[in-house]
Amino acid sequence: MKKAIIDSGALRKLADDISSESLDELNLDALAEVLAAAAAQLEELASLRQDCRLLKEEYRTRILGMLKAIIACKPDDDSAMLASRLAGDIEQFRAEQLIRQYHRVAARFRNRFPASFRYLNFGRGGDSEKRWEEHKI
């Protein structure tokens, strides 16, 4: 992330100068420079906020999709509660929370829906043993 063009100390000093009502102490050139820099930073922050919102929405959609499949397979209260929380306002979740939840739900999803049947234990010996080739993919 870029270093801030303006810092809060400079803004506070300008605010103090303005509020002191002594116009001879106010440096209008510095004020104009700080306001222009602040406007540029606000535009950049708005763009970053939109990027973050899009990424959070993508994570939410993916998590909800996996949760729906998990719930359809075998309903559990944990998954249903998380799905209901995610169905609400996405702003209540921090990005790090969504990432952590994504990894947890993805692990549960992989346990319920393995990519390959060759690692599953279908029984021991005799007629109960099945071959993964028999499953439709």
Burial of 67 (0-12, 13-18, 19+ CB in 10 A): buried
- Pair 52, 99: CB distance under 8 Å: no
Q: Give pTM, 2 decimals.
A: 0.64
Per-residue pLDDT of the chain (137 residues; tens, 9 = 90+): 455 567 777 778 777 777 777 667 777 887 888 888 888 889 999 999 999 999 999 999 999 999 999 999 888 898 999 999 898 888 888 999 999 999 999 999 988 887 765 555 555 554 445 555 555 54
- Structure token digits, residue 85: 């929380």
- Structure token digits, residue 8: 């809060």
